[in-house]
Structure 1
Amino acid sequence: MQIEISANKRTLQGKGASRRLRGSGKVPGIIYGGENPAQAIELDHNGLYHKLKQEAFHASILSMDLDGEKEQVLLRDIQMHPFKLQVLHIDFQRVDKNKKIHMKVPLHFINAENAPGVKLSGGLVSHVLTELDISCLPKDLPEFITVDLTDLAAGNTLHLSDLKLPEGVEIPTLGRGENLPVATIVIPRAVAAEEAAAQVAAADIPTTVQKKEGAAKEGEKKDAGKKK
């Protein structure tokens, strides 16, 4: 389902005009790109603020109703107040359906509890990346990329080349020869210490048994000597 937003064209610009706009519950912004010139816009703050809480709003093609005209846009930048829950400014980019776009999308990790490194070795999943820069046509843009950790063992690392991408989606980083790590499983120190202690204990068992067997045989020899 496509996310829709409403905006109006803005004629007054400058710091004073933007300040008055924010005081009236609006957010100044801009929409640029495509064949049309950049256009200053204003949006309702409360409606925009709630939409910004949606993960998909940051990585989806948005349908903007600009004074009754529909445009396909991407969210490109947000300026927040340093300490208030207030959006100060927002940027959108127009989308050309025939041109590839570059976008950062979130990574969703699944099956961590079934990974051998977690299930068998007591390890913890470390997320090296939480979002991914991708390239694709607007129609192929996914809301997120799924990362399946089912086969990840302790000490192993999942890289960009291991990801299963939706059709039409590319990773520019891979094209530059940078196969970055995405996730790995690390063993906590406490678990590692317990395993080391168990290994040492297991290694000592044969020695202890041999000593006991040797002592028993020595005792048998002494008893046999006394009987003679």
Structure 2
Amino acid sequence: MARPKLTVEKRTITGRKAKALRREGLLPANLYGQNIKSQALKLNYQDFLTIFKKTGESGLIDLAIGKSKSTQPVLVGDIQIDPVTDKILHVDFRQVDLTKKAQVTVPIELVGHAPGAEEGEGILIQPLSEVEVEALPEKLPDHLEADVSSLKEINDAIRIADLEADKEITILADKEEVVAKLEAPTEEEEEPIPAEEPTVIGQEEEEGESGAESKEEESEKKPEEKSSEKEKPQKKAN
């Protein structure tokens, strides 16, 4: 299967000035790796999204810089995401040697049906949703699968040791770490409903409309204004 090709350009704008690139639909990036000098790059934002959806963090990409006809195999490294918009702000590309093993994090997908969960015996949970693996770059998986069809009773679990992976792939995690488990359902205690105080007819509307305003006005008053109001004598009605 042919690797996707991604064309990037060298970048001179760095730091906070990179915001200008994002406004133009460009994504700031860096290229790093062994025996190469780190390079600041920029690329089309949508082009990256399209390819990243196919490759993830474990799929190889042929990176071309500028008009160069030569490419270099890279993996997607760290990705910075805006916590408010969820948009990608920056991406790192890691150059790899196809003859040397690389480490990446891949998702764990649950497959099959857990009888215990379907029959109402328990609730299926997944404490571990991703794991680090090691393999030659061209042998890296895009995900691992955990078959939950053996989970029938409470506390039945699938562990790292139960995951099936090719011999070329090493899972870098404790073999006893739990991936999926059947837990007993928790019973929710009903909270007592507090008794409602009787509402005096005629006061509800007045309190609803003026309550918030009076509290706001009171909080904005200075301490000396509040104390002077308390000292003012009330006028008697004629």
Cα distance, 1:94 vs structure 2: 0.6
RMSD: 2.2
Deviations 1:105-152 (Å, cap 9, x if unpaired)?
11111112xx33234453221011111111111121011101111212
**Alignment-derived partner of residue 137 in structure 1:** 136
Cα distance, 1:17 vs structure 2: 4.5
Query: Contact 1:101–1:138 at 8 Å: present in 2 too?
Result: yes
Which is further off, 63-72 or 157-166?
63-72
Q: What residue identity is the alignment partner of 1:48? A: F
Cα distance, 1:21 vs structure 2: 1.9
Query: Contact 2:8–2:63 at 8 Å: present in 1 too?
Result: no
Which is further off, 65-74 or 8-17?
8-17
- Cα 1:28–1:122, aligned 2, differ >3 Å: closer, same or farther? same
**Alignment-derived partner of residue 99 in structure 1:** 100
Which is further off, 4-13 or 85-94?
4-13
The correspondence of residues 1-228 of structure 1 with structure 2, limited to 5 A, is: 1=1, 4-15=4-15, 17-52=17-52, 54=53, 56-67=55-66, 68-112=69-113, 115-154=114-153, 155-174=155-174, 179-189=176-186
Deviations 1:56-87 (Å, cap 9, x if unpaired)?
42331222232332211111111122323532
Q: What residue identity is the alignment partner of 2:185? A: P
Work out the CA distance in 2 between the residues paired with 1:109 and 1:55. Answer: 20
Query: Contact 2:123–2:183 at 8 Å: present in 1 too?
Result: yes
Q: What residue identity is the alignment partner of 1:183? A: A
Cα distance, 1:47 vs structure 2: 2.2
**Alignment-derived partner of residue 208 in structure 1:** none
Which is further off, 40-49 or 14-23?
14-23
SS at match of 1:109: strand
Aligned-residue sequence identity (percent) comes to 24
Work out the CA distance in 1 between the residues paired with 2:8 and 2:118. Answer: 54
Work out the CA distance in 1 between the residues paired with 2:54 and 2:72. Answer: 21
Query: Contact 1:49–1:87 at 8 Å: present in 2 too?
Result: no
User: Scaled by the length of structure 2, what TM-score is found?
Assistant: 0.69
Higher helix share goes to which structure? 1
Work out the CA distance in 1 between the residues paired with 2:75 and 2:143. Answer: 15
SS at match of 2:34: coil
Query: Contact 1:3–1:57 at 8 Å: present in 2 too?
Result: no
User: Scaled by the length of structure 1, what TM-score is found?
Assistant: 0.71
SS at match of 1:31: strand
Work out the CA distance in 1 between the residues paired with 2:51 and 2:148. Answer: 30
Work out the CA distance in 1 between the residues paired with 2:109 and 2:97. Answer: 27
Cα distance, 1:24 vs structure 2: 1.8
Cα distance, 1:38 vs structure 2: 1.5
Query: Contact 2:9–2:43 at 8 Å: present in 1 too?
Result: no
SS at match of 1:164: coil
- Cα 1:78–1:151, aligned 2, differ >3 Å: closer, same or farther? same
Query: Contact 1:2–1:63 at 8 Å: present in 2 too?
Result: no
Structure 2 unaligned residues grouped into runs of 5+ = 188-238
Structure 1 unaligned residues grouped into runs of 5+ = 191-228
Q: How many residues align?
A: 184
